[in-house]
Amino acid sequence: MPLGAFFPNLAFDNDPEAIRAWAQAVEELGYDYIDIPDHTVGVDRASRPEFEGPYDLSNPYHETFVTMGFLAAITRRVRLKSSVLILPQRQTALVAKQAAEVDVLSGGRLDLGIGVGWNPVEYEALGQDWDSRGRRQNEQVAAMQHLWCDDIVKFEGEWEILNGVGLNPPAIQRPIPIWFGGSVDAALRRTAKHGAGWIPLGDPDEKAVKRLEKLRHYLHEEGRDTKNFGIECWIRTRDPNPDTWLENARQWRALGATHVTLYTAGTYMGAVPEQIEALRCFKEMMVKDGF
């Protein structure tokens, strides 16, 4: 079962050498992929007292595509995944171009994880519409598939107009695999129609069971083979006892997870050496348990 490491933004501050040390340790430990999260701007809670989100201006976030370009240069094998990029707050053709470029620079190691997000403040800052984000994402995915697979693209939708254009250099993977985050019904339908996999984000509880049942039903409606569809679970290290991480992974495996990611971001583990040690411990436990 592929194992992933979640990029712990809060551990790095502004030190590229810390990022290098962590990423190369991830690869040396034998992890299969790195998840890189996405936030463009942080909110100043003092000036926006109505804001209730979990992250704000005090939390550093490295830009997703630039970070993946850096990681592509300092690693050789590990795959890179945006987890998850808030697609509808961005220009579609630009995202397709950036993704293709990371795919080229990494030698075809990119997975594009996308979602619609939870923060309307970022949409406001980027000049995009919050209310239409789900419907727009559907169209964006279709447009990007054309940009990655076709040399010359002619596409017209409600938001996207591509008239005799293309990407050069093209992506190595044609198309780049798209993974979806999100748990509402519309997101599950989008995932079943367009996705290479789904990232549940939550815990292996009754809610997850019901969502997985829905997703598999929608995959069946789309004529998709569930055996070739990915389910990536996040093992959050809120409890410092590694045995609880393993038990959480076992529960997800029983539900049909195909990928397991250790999520150390924003937890009690702050410094890079602690992050690496947690990854080492988790990898050893997973191998011993037969993952």
- Estimate the crossing angle of helix 242-255 against helix 206-221, to 10 degrees: 30
| CA angle 230–36–6, rounded 5-degree value | 75
- pLDDT confidence bin for 55, thresholds 50/70/90: confident
SS3 20: helix
Question: Which residues partner with 256 through β-bridges?
Answer: none
Range of the domain at 180: 3-288
**Number of domain units in the chain:** 1
Cβ atoms within 10 Å of 210's Cβ, excluding its own: 11
Closest C-alpha to 138, from 98, 180, 82, 81: 180
Question: Which residues partner with 259 through β-bridges?
Answer: 232
Question: Which residues have C-beta within 8 Å of that of residue 198, sequence separation ≥ 6?
Answer: 179, 180, 181, 188, 191, 215, 229, 230, 231, 232
Three-class SS of 159-192? CCEEEEECCCCCCCCCCCCEEEECCCHHHHHHHH
Average of pLDDT values for 169-196?
96
Q: 267 pLDDT exceeds 80?
A: no
Q: Name the residue type at position 197.
A: G
Is the pTM of the predicted complex or chain greater than 0.85?
yes
Q: How far apart are CA 182 and CA 32, in angstroms?
A: 23
Query: How does pLDDT run across 96-125, given as a tens digit for each residue?
Result: 999 999 999 999 999 999 999 999 999 999
Please tell me the predicted confidence (pLDDT) of residue 257.
97
126: CATH? 3.20.20.30
43-81 CB burial, b ≥16 within 10 A, e <16: beeeeeeeeebebeeeeebbebbebbbbbbeebeebbbb
Query: How does pLDDT run across 58-107, given as a tens digit for each residue?
Result: 988 999 999 999 999 999 999 999 999 999 999 999 999 999 999 999 99
